Amino acid sequence: MFRFLEGEPLLYNGWIWIVKGVQHPDGYVVAYPRYCVECIPPRKLFRMESLRKIKYYRWDCIGLELPVVPKKDVKPFFIKSRSRVMEFMDLIIDLSGIDRDDVLLTGSLLIGYDPIYSDIDLVFYGESIVNRVYDVLRYLRESGVTSSLGPSGLLIEYDKHRDLSFDQYIMLRRNSLLQGYYMKKYRYTIRLVPYDHGYNECIDRVVWSDYRDLTIKVIEPIKPYTTPALYRVKIIDSSLDKDLAYMVSFRIRYTELDTGVLLHGVFRIEKHLRDENYYIIPDHSSVKIFGYSS
């Protein structure tokens, strides 16, 4: 019934919570409150409302405080989608040959927003699924069924990323297949999560972490269009004992980065029990693109 994976909507205490990540503390689910369904009319939560409702759990597995809800008290949340949403979803399902159970609707359409004014937010799950769906997204773009966000769509999405300049946001997202327009009218955002289910245990322990101001260069996009996205990167002018690392991000804006992209900002740096590599995460503060390097 539940996946407990990134992007999954859960109902808890009259609010819709969106699952974050892959691993969760025993008995809890890491999730953020997004929408109030008991409100009349249902609506998106204000930031201060969300902060008052969040219960934080300090998890030694990753060395962070996380917003959690009790696993035993959550319920699944589904709605009957509008016709255009189902049309777009069914098109991807049919072309990729996947099952309907492999995709969930999320985002503000859960509370009845009109797809003309809000994103069609879809999440696809499964290691064997994500490559097929991305190939379909490429085909739909090349055939003209979908189109890039363009200046107007980028400006709408940019409102969620005001820590960047508009030019920086354009550099990050202008060529995205994960975001765009369906039939030149309906904005969409798609996440591709290469897991079938989440874990209620520590499966990837962090043994050391720090925050550093770094400049990095993408040298190999390994899984650039999945959530999490994974890149091999070169760390430039660093005091670390290695100049090569992996960058991992759960944020859509850091997907689909090309080789040669330069990023600068404060990154969280981690070492994991499983190996000796550095893993750097741009998701906890403002990390900006500032160009390309050959």
pLDDT of res. 162: 87
**Residue 87 sits in the same domain as residue 188:** yes
Mean pLDDT of the chain: 93
Q: Is residue 44 part of a domain?
A: yes
**Residue 239 sits in the same domain as residue 181:** no
| Residue in 84, 20, 83 with CA at minimum distance from that of residue 54 | 20
**Residue 126 sits in the same domain as residue 41:** no
Residues pairing with 225 in the sheet: none
Q: Would you say 189 and 160 are in contact if contact means Cβ atoms under 8 Å apart?
A: no
Q: Taking the CA atoms of the chain, what radius of gyration do you get in angstroms?
A: 19
**Average pLDDT for residues 187-210, to the nearest whole number?**
97
d(CA 169, CA 128): 30
Q: Is residue 128 part of a domain?
A: yes
* Domain end point (choices 76, 96, 111): 76
pLDDT tens by residue, 13-57: 999 999 999 999 999 999 999 999 988 899 998 877 877 778 999
- pTM for the predicted model, two decimal places: 0.95
pLDDT of res. 53: 78
179-182 and 186-193 beta bridge pairing = antiparallel
Q: Would you say 147 and 166 are in contact if contact means Cβ atoms under 8 Å apart?
A: no
d(CA 127, CA 78): 23
CATH code assigned at 226: 2.40.50.140
Number of H helices, E strands in the chain: 5, 18
Provide the domain limits for residue 278: 206-292
**Residue 53 sits in the same domain as residue 110:** no
**Residue 92 sits in the same domain as residue 114:** yes
* Domain end point (choices 141, 168, 193): 193
**Residue 177 sits in the same domain as residue 115:** yes
Q: Would you say 252 and 122 are in contact if contact means Cβ atoms under 8 Å apart?
A: no
Q: Is residue 201 part of a domain?
A: no
Residues pairing with 235 in the sheet: 216
Helix axis angle for 130-142 and 83-96, nearest 10°, is 110
SS3 125: strand
Q: Which residue has the tokens 């085909």?
A: 139
**Residue 68 sits in the same domain as residue 30:** yes
pLDDT of res. 207: 97
Question: What count of other Cβ atoms lies within 10 Å of the Cβ of residue 130?
Answer: 23
Q: Is residue 228 part of a domain?
A: yes
Q: Is residue 180 part of a domain?
A: yes
**Residue 98 sits in the same domain as residue 166:** yes
**Average pLDDT for residues 139-165, to the nearest whole number?**
94
Structure tokens at 54: 């969040």
Q: Is residue 4 part of a domain?
A: no
Query: Which of 1-15, 21-35, 108-122 is predicted least confidently?
Result: 108-122
**Average pLDDT for residues 144-149, to the nearest whole number?**
97
d(CA 171, CA 290): 9
Q: % helix / strand / coil in the chain, to the nearest 5?
A: 20, 40, 40
**Residue 112 sits in the same domain as residue 182:** yes
Cα dihedral 18/23/26/27 (nearest 10): 20
pLDDT of res. 47: 76
pLDDT of res. 113: 79
d(CA 209, CA 201): 20
Structure tokens at 19: 């699952």
**Residue 60 sits in the same domain as residue 106:** no
pLDDT tens by residue, 236-267: 977 788 899 999 999 999 999 999 999 999 99
Q: Is residue 1 part of a domain?
A: no
What is the separation of C-alpha 144 from the centre of its chain, rounded to a whole number of angstroms? Answer: 25
pLDDT tens by residue, 56-104: 999 999 999 999 999 999 999 987 777 889 999 999 999 999 999 999 9
Residues ≥6 apart with Cβ < 8 Å to 293: 217, 260, 262
**Residue 188 sits in the same domain as residue 88:** yes
Domain count, the chain: 3
Residues pairing with 29 in the sheet: 69
* Domain end point (choices 55, 76, 97): 76
**Residue 181 sits in the same domain as residue 102:** yes
